[in-house]
Amino acid sequence: MERRNFLKQNVLVGGSLLAGTGLLAQNANENTLADTTPYKLHYGIHDGMFENLAGPNFIDQIKYAHSIGFTAIEDNGMMSRTPEMQQKIGDTLAALGMHMGVFVLNYSNNDKINLTTGTQEWKDKFVASCNEAVEVAKRTNATWITVVPGNFERSLPIDIQTGNVIESLRPGADILAKHNLVMVLEPLSDTPNLFLRHSDQTYAICKAINSPSCKILFDMYHMQKNEGNIINNINRCWSEIGYFQIGDNPGRNEPGSGEMNYHNIFKHIHSKGYKGVLGMEHGKLGAGSAGELALIKAYREADNF
């Protein structure tokens, strides 16, 4: 608590919080920004989401997001940042009382054939990356780490591939469990070559690994594309869901820009007692400051339940 209070004093009392938000005063839409109360759920912004209103520096964007009610971030590329920047982000979040969402385990590109092969080479790469992720998580106060087990190995039967993935993930889950960290497996819709594509498939793998450090990342944009029936599938997989991500479909932009009823989805997730982060892994329908203000308005409307 002493370290947290020290950081808060330096970030808030020192005035640096205001430095990142002063740029918006001239052009901000006062009606959109009038409500600065924290959102009911922990929506996690990305780097660049408020670059027009707060400037290009991610730290300034984090401070700005906090000033208008957002309580979390996520950063897919965190493992590629310098340790110094990781620490700076972690210290800023601690000072503001914000949550750190996922970062991506960088053992491989999503579109490579890797863990489905069952080879020792990929098992070793995965374990080494999990060990590295532990250190990143310490600097950033993170809990969740995104894992994608790559593409199909089409020379192998599907159940053999599934067994290979389970066997490869278990040592990583054991490493993360020692530090109270959680890998969240993400089924994706980007290409039919990806091995992990559905929530029920991911549920079965998590049940087989049987570890509190292996759960589902339920990205609602991808799941709307691959299977729909979002609320029912959330209920079916609830015991194994560790994290959510957001994006409307079509377009992968903010809530209200597509066909998904995020007001009802957020209300349902909140009613089930979810306390984690919902990553805002999407773009903006509009451009510039106006697009960012529209995004803020969309979240206020979707969170108004």
- Rounded CA-CA distance 245/186 in Å is 10
Q: According to the model, what pLDDT value does residue 21 have?
A: 46
Residue 115 within any structural domain of the chain = yes
Quick one: pLDDT at residue 31? Answer: 79
Given this model, what pLDDT does residue 76 score? Answer: 98
The answer as to whether 30 is a domain residue is: no
Domain of residue 293 covers 2-21+36-302
Task: Give the pLDDT confidence score for residue 291 in this predicted structure.
Answer: 98
What confidence tier does 32 reach under pLDDT thresholds 50, 70, 90?
confident
282 in a domain, yes or no?
Answer: yes
Would the pLDDT of 290 be above 70?
A: yes
CATH code, domain with 251: 3.20.20.150
Output the pLDDT for position 2. 41
Q: What is the pLDDT of residue 30?
A: 65
What's the average model confidence in pLDDT over 88-113?
A: 97
Check residue 15 and give its pLDDT: 44
Can you give the pLDDT at residue 8? 45
**Pair 276, 144: CB distance under 8 Å:** yes
Residue 11 or residue 275, greater confidence:
275
Percent over 90 (pLDDT), the chain: 89
Which of these, 179, 177, 25, 42, lies nearest to 97 by C-alpha position? 42
**Domain presence at residue 114:** yes
Q: Across residues 251-275, what is the average pLDDT? A: 98
Q: Above 80 in pLDDT, residue 147?
A: yes
Q: What pLDDT is attached to residue 277?
A: 98
Interval 11-37 mean pLDDT: 58
pLDDT at residue 274 tops 50: yes
| Token duo for residue 53 | 């209103």
Instruction: For residues 202-207, give the mean pLDDT.
Output: 98
Average pLDDT of the chain is 93
How many folded domains does the chain comprise?
A: 1
Q: How far is it, in rounded angstroms, from Cα 38 to Cα 47? A: 20
**Residue 230: which of 199, 256, 197, 192 has the closest Cα?**
199
Angle between helices 230-237 and 262-271 (to 10 degrees): 20
The yes-or-no verdict on residue 12 having pLDDT over 60 is no
Task: Quickly state the pLDDT bin for 182 (edges 50, 70, 90).
Answer: very high
pLDDT over 90 at 17, yes or no: no
> Is residue 26 in some structural domain?
no
- The CA-based dihedral angle spanning residues 97, 270, 302, 76, taken in that order and rounded to the nearest 10 degrees: 50
Q: How far is 140 from 94, CA to CA, in rounded Å?
A: 9
pLDDT at 29 (0 to 100): 66
Give the chain as a DSSP string.
-HHHHHHHIIIIITSHHHHTTGGGTTT--HHHHS--SPPSSEEEE-TTTTHHHH-S-HHHHHHHHHHTT--EE--TTGGGS-HHHHHHHHHHHHHHTPEE--EE--SS-TTS--GGG--HHHHHHHHHHHHHHHHHHHHHT--EEEE---B--TTS-HHHHHHHHHHHHHHHHHHHHTTT-EEEE----S-TTBS---HHHHHHHHHHHT-TTEEEEEEHHHHHHHT--HHHHHHHHGGGEEEEE---TTTS-STTSSS--HHHHHHHHHHTT--SEEE-----SS-HHHHHHHHHHHHHHHT--
Q: How many degrees, rounded to 5, is the angle at CA 141 between CA 106 and CA 79?
A: 20
**What are the tokens at 228?**
């729909």
Whether the per-residue pLDDT at 95 is higher than 50: the answer is yes
Distance CA 244, CA 292 (A): 22
| 27: in domain | no
Say what the pLDDT of residue 93 is. 98
Beta strands at 277-279 and 72-73: parallel, antiparallel or unpaired: unpaired
| Mean pLDDT, rounded, for 155-171 | 98
